[in-house]
Amino acid sequence: MPDPIELEDVDALGTGAVGEPGQRAFYLQARSAEAQLTVLVEKEQIALLATEAIAFLDRIADDYPEDPITLPSAAAELREPTVPLFRARLIGLGFDPERELVLIELREHTTSEDDDEDDLDDPLELVIDDEDDGEGYVARIYATRPQVRAMAARGAREVAAGRPPCPLCDMPMDPAGHRCPRWN
């Protein structure tokens, strides 16, 4: 098992998609002066991370007031190269109150034997496949709250920029047409 990757006080935290709608690959990326970490994630993970990160930050704001600093979502753009180190199966959020940094933990493999259960305690834990060959990579990214808010805004925008949903079945519609199952 590789050692955990720890990125302390990142310079930038970003998310984005590469490719045409319907065939895009989604990434989460953290950069510091010494390193750049890119992780492949699913569209649904980005959507959940965006909504859950904002809700999480709003919940802790009473106990740990934030600076009114805001970063534009352009600060959360991907930087080339977007070659992922691994595919994240689990994403978790945490907060380090001493340093007032948000922790985003990405895991390549699940650690429990209960991968088949549908009722996960953490809504950010999306299981991508059922193969578990080992513990795999673990990355811990420590970012500021404005960086996380910018990443969440960028992620929500990237998810929304995909193919529009069919008004009848909510499945994505291709530009060339859509065979809606509700028309059968």
Q: What value, to the nearest 5°, has the Cα angle with vertex 122 and ends 50 and 114?
A: 135
Question: Residues of the chain with pLDDT > 90: what percent?
Answer: 52
- Contacts of residue 9, Cβ cutoff 8 Å, sequence gap at least 6: 32, 101, 142
C-alpha–C-alpha distance, residues 140 and 10, integer Å: 11
C-alpha–C-alpha distance, residues 175 and 184, integer Å: 21
* Average pLDDT over every residue of 69-96: 88
| Average pLDDT over all residues of the chain | 84
Express each pLDDT in 104-128 by its tens digit. 999 998 665 444 444 444 445 444 4
* Average pLDDT over every residue of 12-30: 92
Express each pLDDT in 92-101 by its tens digit. 999 999 999 9
Which strands form 5-7's sheet, in the order they lie side by side? 5-7, 138-143, 101-107, 90-96
C-alpha–C-alpha distance, residues 67 and 146, integer Å: 8
Domain residue extents for the chain: 5-183
pLDDT value of position 58: 94
Express each pLDDT in 169-181 by its tens digit. 888 887 777 788 8
